[in-house]
Amino acid sequence: MAAIDRRIAWLLVGFFALLGLAALRAGQLGVLDASTLRQQAVSEHVVVQPLPALRGSIVSSDGITLAMSEAADDVIADPFLTSGANASTSARELAPLLGMSDSAVLAGLTKPNTGYVVLEREVSTATARAIMALGINGISLNPDVKRVYPLPWTAAQVIGGVNAAGVGDGGLELEYNNVLAGRAGERRIVQDALGQSLSVTDTRAMKQGKSLKLTLNAALQSYVEQVLAGVGAQYRPTSATAVVMNPDTGSILALANWPQVNANQPGLPNEQDWMDQAVGFSYEPGSTFKAITVSGAIQDGLISPSTQIYVPSVLQVYNRQIHDAEWHPGEMMTVAHILKVSSNIGAAKIGMMLGPNRFNYWVRRFGFGAPTGVDLPGEQTGIVPEPSQYSGVSLANLPFGQGESVTPIQMMTAYSAIANGGWLRSPHIVSSIGGKPTPLPPAHRIISAQTAADLRDMLRGVLDDGGTASGAAIPGYDLAGKTGTSNVAINGQYSNTEFVASFIGMVPAAAPKLVVEVMVYEPQGSIYGGQVAAPAFKRIVGWAVPYFGINPNPANVNTNPATASASIPGG
């Protein structure tokens, strides 16, 4: 009996020892490790998904949607669940919905050593529903957002795009990313052991981004791009750009680049074609710059349109000879005639009359050598030398646009000041954000209304008989403008085979409502601005004037754009 009692006692001791160990383990799990275990349990059965915000849309001034976001889904496979005996059948069912081959889908379903494979990103809601209707165990969806460009060839370099993370990486998508992006939400999903959802709760609502309304007119934009495509086909240039602007408000009505790119195929055919050349490309302006030289000399009281200047056949400046495009004997020319026939020698002599400091003053007064402040990314400033950097021949070539570099948007801004009566204003392309109008950039006077009127009157002659752009004249239209042809600098030397052809003009010249610029880089065959760029200007103006209901030949009136109304086209 005593032996039995001893055995029972030892059993009891062992039992209570085990019970004590269990109690200690329970205490450790329930108290000391409770927080860690709770987190592990949640991570295994609760999934927190971000809800991507819908980006705001981008809409043209005529109500055409140029960029929008759509709800989409990423299709996810868990190979721990999808790689069984039914994997081949599942792949055959999924492949046509995903637009993939059976083998590619099967590889994703059976990928080893992972429980998470993205089969496809940004599938449409309808496709996602069809996929889930198949009832394949281990297939799930992650909410996503797809950026769509309904008119992918229209203003693609201006609109830009977004990267794989949905963040703007070019054009307006980049410049206004913080406005367009909105705020992501959050969703809590409780799953069972097989990964099936038991409950879904949105713990933070998604906030949609604000929309942008542009000054850009989609109909005009489309036509301008057609015109540039024609220039590309005819002259096979490296690139070309065209800008149409309302000079009173600085509103950009069209901004086209060639070659065109497809906004729904980012990065193709190459990154260079995605440059917005109007703001990101610098070139030597050539004779379009003569209007700036003449403006400063008139404003300083050194000349008037009727001032006679002797223009020799050749101008010798130190070791350099300046020639005009066409040989002529030495003759007296008025300032107006110098602009009409685009005399390099005449412009050089006017620049010498200004002298280095005053010439530099007027160049910078018109905004060259500094950003215009346009609301587009990637704006370059060009290169404008300081007087201390001038050589002995600088004032013989800078006044006719050789030796400094500018951007197309800088030239447009300067010519808009001539068009609107002497007011310089930053150009802009966004007219409202989230339905709230954006204020017009401030304007400041740089030349008098009379000087601006004198310039416009002289620039009419460029399109008259004997002018460098007489072929761009339109009967019944009051037009003014200036041609430009410049050599491309390659490795510090001016090329004799590569050129830039440009034209900037306005309509109606008496009180311009549109300024149009066309710049063609390295055209083949014809090289002159009057032959290559001016006809494109003519086509654009001929389409735009009736479209906007502009009287092409009104009575001469003065305007004050410092208080301009935004009701003018594109405002």
Residue 54 is given by DSSP the state: P
Q: Which helix (H) or strand (E) holds 507?
A: strand 493-507
What per-residue confidence (pLDDT) applies to 112? 92
Strands 314-317 and 320-323: antiparallel
Average pLDDT score, the chain:
89
pLDDT computed for residue 147 by the predictor:
93
Residue that wins the pLDDT comparison between 523 and 2: 523
pLDDT per position as a tens digit, 459-493: 999 999 999 999 999 999 999 999 999 999 888 88
SS3 240: strand
| Residue 71 confidence (pLDDT) | 85
pLDDT at 357: 98
Report the helix count and the strand count for the chain, using DSSP H and E: 19, 23
Q: Percent of the chain at pLDDT above 70? A: 86
Q: How high is the pLDDT of residue 170? A: 93
> What percentage of residues in the chain have a pLDDT greater than 90?
74
pLDDT in tens, 12-49: 666 666 666 666 665 555 555 556 545 555 455 677 76
- pLDDT tens, 97-156? 999 999 999 999 999 999 899 999 889 889 999 999 999 999 988 888 899 999 999 999
Residue 385 — very low, low, confident or very high, per pLDDT cuts 50/70/90?
very high
pTM of the model: 0.85
pLDDT confidence tier of residue 556, bands split at 50, 70 and 90: very low
> Encoding tokens for residue 361?
């003053």
Asked if pLDDT for residue 499 goes beyond 50, the answer is: yes
What are the tens digits of pLDDT across the range 337-361? 999 999 999 999 999 999 999 999 9
Looking at the predicted structure, is the pLDDT value of residue 389 above 70?
yes
Asked if 513 contacts 548 with a C-beta cutoff of 8 angstroms, the reply is yes
Report the C-alpha gap between 402 and 487 in whole angstroms: 8
Q: Which of 180-194, 400-414, 501-515 has the lowest mean pLDDT?
A: 180-194
Cα dihedral value 557, 558, 564, 566, nearest 10 = 20
How many CA within 13 A on the CB side of residue 41? Answer: 7
- Residue 564's pLDDT band, with cuts at 50, 70 and 90, is very low
What integer is the mean pLDDT of 55-78? Answer: 94
Give per-residue pLDDT as tens, 394-447: 999 999 999 999 999 999 999 999 999 999 999 999 999 999 999 999 999 999
Q: What kind and span of H or E run contains 173?
A: helix 171-175
Cβ(189)–Cβ(49) below 8 Å: yes
Q: What is the pLDDT of residue 526?
A: 95
Give the pLDDT confidence score for residue 567 in this predicted structure. 42
Q: How many angstroms separate the first and last alpha carbons of the chain?
A: 110
The pLDDT, as a whole number, for residue 507 is 98
**Helix pair angle (87-98, 102-109), 10° resolution:** 120
pLDDT at 1: 56
Using an 8 Å Cβ cutoff, are 56 and 434 in contact?
A: yes
**pLDDT tier at 563, thresholds 50, 70, 90:** very low
What was the pLDDT predicted at 185? Answer: 73
Average pLDDT over residues 224-248: 98
* Contacts for 444-450: CB closer than 8 Å, 24+ residues apart: 445/562, 446/365, 446/366, 446/417, 446/422, 447/295, 447/298, 447/299, 447/417, 447/418, 447/422, 448/299, 448/422, 449/421, 449/422, 449/558
What is the DSSP annotation of 385-442?
--GGG--TTHHHHGGGT-S-BB-HHHHHHHHHHHHTTSEEE--B-EEEETTEEPPPPP
* Per-residue pLDDT at 350: 98
CB 55 within 8 A of CB 147: yes
**Which residue in this structure is represented by tokens 């005399």?**
343
Q: Does 70 or 37 have the greater pLDDT score?
A: 70
Closest CA to 173 of 184, 159, 183, 163: 159
pLDDT recorded at residue 207 = 86
User: Which homologous superfamily is 218-524+535-563 in?
Assistant: DD-peptidase/beta-lactamase superfamily (3.40.710.10)
What is the β-pairing status of strands 436-437 and 430-433? antiparallel
**311 vs 142 pLDDT, higher one:** 311
pLDDT over threshold 80, residue 571 = no
